[in-house]
Amino acid sequence: MKKRAGVLFAVGATVAGLVTAVPPAVSADTASAAGRAAARTTLTWTACGTKSYPKLQCASVQVPLNHADPQGRQITLALSRVRHTARNFQGPLLVNPGGPGGSGLSLAGFVAGSLPEKVAAQYDVVGFDPRGVGASEPALDCRPGHFSAVRPDSVPGGAREERDGVGRARAFAEACGEKYGDVLPYIDTVSAARDLDVVRRALGAQRISYFGYSYGTYLGAVYARLFPQRVRRLALDSVVDPTGVWYDNNIAQDHAFDARHKAFAAWVARHDAVYRLGGDPARVEAAWYRMREALRRSPAGGKVGPAELEDTYLPGGYFNGYWPHLAEAFASYVNDKDPAPLVAAYKNFGANDASDDNSYSVYTAVQCRDASWPRDWGTWHEDNWDVHEKAPFSTWNNAWYNAPCAFWPTGRLDPPDVTNDQLPPALLLQATEDAATPYGGGAALHRMLSGSALVVESGGGNHGITLSGNACLDRYLADYLATGEVPRGSGLGEADAVCDALPDPKPLPPERTAAPSRGSALHGLLGYRG
């Protein structure tokens, strides 16, 4: 989970502190008689609307730190919601932006405001900060400033530099163990999934619907495996490969992000009249690596060295709407010898603040606990140098991001098998060129979830593809949430339906600003690194 580029929407600004009266929740169980009431919610909701999401309400719920000891120590999860307004109430729709480590409080407002009004009105759209995240308590922050600029070059220049990188990773893991040793054994996906069932009960719902992006797809699949009878609808966008958790998935990302960086270079080359960096993609890519080397010798503005440059351009692998801004900074540095736009791009796309420190702490806590990672650094060394030779853009940057898992102070769990034949039809949505969750993950989960449907964005390279401007994809999502029906069979292999990708963006207009889009709003909430 990386810096969230674009505008972030804080949920903390309350409106009048109003406490809402909570009526009995209507059952969302379609097997029940219409109108039958479920248990009364145990939550107290207060108004916490923002300028962007004025209808938001907030609450909190206590969950066991250790679900095997439900009467033991309790921790707190922060919740948000936008209430239903339609008479046809379909129950709660829980939403998650991914991570692990992503806050979902504002996502509730975004989803409620982006779905067709008739569909959103039928749900209580509920966001949440998973255990350890954001407004939940305790919120992790293992080593504040771990990503402060200027970090060492992510690509080791020799054995000494690699040892220094290992030392930084070990220090982060040790700091986490020292500060949160009593909590870390319970920061994992299975525990977070069990939290969702506590939330379900607190909401007074017999069943929940769930809509997750990125890592949120894995969290949803795990919840569905643990509590299949509690799932009403399950929509998963940009699907994590559940067979590669987590070391293998990160290696796959390295290759995929290198391909997306090449796609960015090709886009810049197509607009050579604007950027003057060459009409040959290979020439453009070579210029980017020359810029990287120049920054190694002299960081731009004393802030942007090679590692920070990678942090700045990695978001372009998640969302091509950032390409025009990144290309402007690239061209200014190379052609005009002006580092100021690059420094500005770093501040917007790559720099980390306290919320990012929290997100990264939870990211490592979950991924390092969830599954086995190599303990022998020799394995990391060999694997990452092998991949770097083929995919140099972000391989070592990603290696150091995950390297604390080689030294994590807890034991490792075995990832659950999320194969499931007890669910109602699930809807999976996947872009063919997604770098963060490559296409094979969506295809794999489609095979594992009996009765699921796979909607493919052909040629799409963005991560997080619904409610981002593609009307075809949005129609499938809205129809599913409204009716529970999924498409069946496109005649195109494993896909049940295919949507064309949106066109690539255009360069910025002469005033060098672009109107905000739903895509940029969504990707500001999803963040990076899953």
- What six digits make up the tokens of 164? 């220094």
Q: How far apart are the C-alpha atoms of 403 and 172, rounded to whole Å?
A: 9
- What pLDDT does residue 493 have? 80
- What pLDDT does residue 13 have? 35
Q: Which of 405, 414, 418 is nearest to 242 (CA)?
A: 418
Q: How far apart are the C-alpha atoms of 82 and 510, rounded to whole Å?
A: 39
Q: Is 201 helix (H, G, I), strand (E, B) or coil?
A: helix
Q: Is 53 helix (H, G, I), strand (E, B) or coil?
A: coil
Size of the chain, expressed as the number of residues it contains: 530
- What pLDDT does residue 38 have? 38
Range list of β-strands (E), 65-136: 74-82, 92-96, 124-129
- What pLDDT does residue 65 have? 98
* Alpha-carbon separation of residue 485 from 105, 211, 455 (angstroms): 28, 15, 13
DSSP string, 271-324: THHHH-S-SSHHHHHHHHHHHHHHHHHS-BTTTB-HHHHHHHHTHHHH-GGGHH
* Alpha-carbon separation of residue 149 from 46, 117, 400, 401 (angstroms): 39, 44, 15, 15
Q: Is 470 helix (H, G, I), strand (E, B) or coil?
A: coil
- What pLDDT does residue 491 have? 63
Q: Residue 248 catalytic?
A: no
Residue pair 80/199 in contact by the 8 Å Cβ criterion: no
Q: Residue 450 catalytic?
A: no
Catalytic one among 356, 370, 434, 474?
Answer: 434
- What pLDDT does residue 59 have? 98
Q: What residues are paired with 89 via a beta bridge?
A: none
Q: Which of 450, 437, 530, 454 is nearest to 490 (CA)?
A: 454
Residue pair 203/126 in contact by the 8 Å Cβ criterion: yes
Residue pair 444/241 in contact by the 8 Å Cβ criterion: yes
Torsion 164-169-172-174 (CA) sign? negative
H-helix or E-strand spanning residue 247: helix 247-270
* Side-chain half-sphere CA neighbours of 116 within 13 A: 13
Q: Is 6 helix (H, G, I), strand (E, B) or coil?
A: coil
Q: Which of 81, 77, 183 is nearest to 130 (CA)?
A: 77
Q: Mean pLDDT by 10-residue block, N- to C-terminus, for the chain (530 residues)?
A: 35 33 37 36 92 97 98 98 98 98 98 98 98 98 97 98 98 98 98 98 98 98 98 98 98 98 98 98 98 98 98 98 97 98 97 96 98 98 98 98 98 98 98 98 98 98 98 98 93 88 95 78 83
Q: Residue 214 catalytic?
A: yes
- Give me the helix-helix angle, 354-370 and 159-180, nearest 10°: 90
Catalytic one among 463, 474, 496, 523?
Answer: 463
- What six digits make up the tokens of 412? 């490792």
Catalytic one among 27, 103, 154, 214?
Answer: 214
In sequence order, what are the residues at sequence separation of 6 or more whose Cβ sits closer than 8 angstroms to the Cβ of residue 33? none
User: Quick one: residue 39, left, alpha or beta (phi over 0 = left, psi -120 to 50 = alpha)?
Assistant: beta
Residue pair 454/496 in contact by the 8 Å Cβ criterion: yes
Q: What residues are paired with 81 via a beta bridge?
A: 57, 126
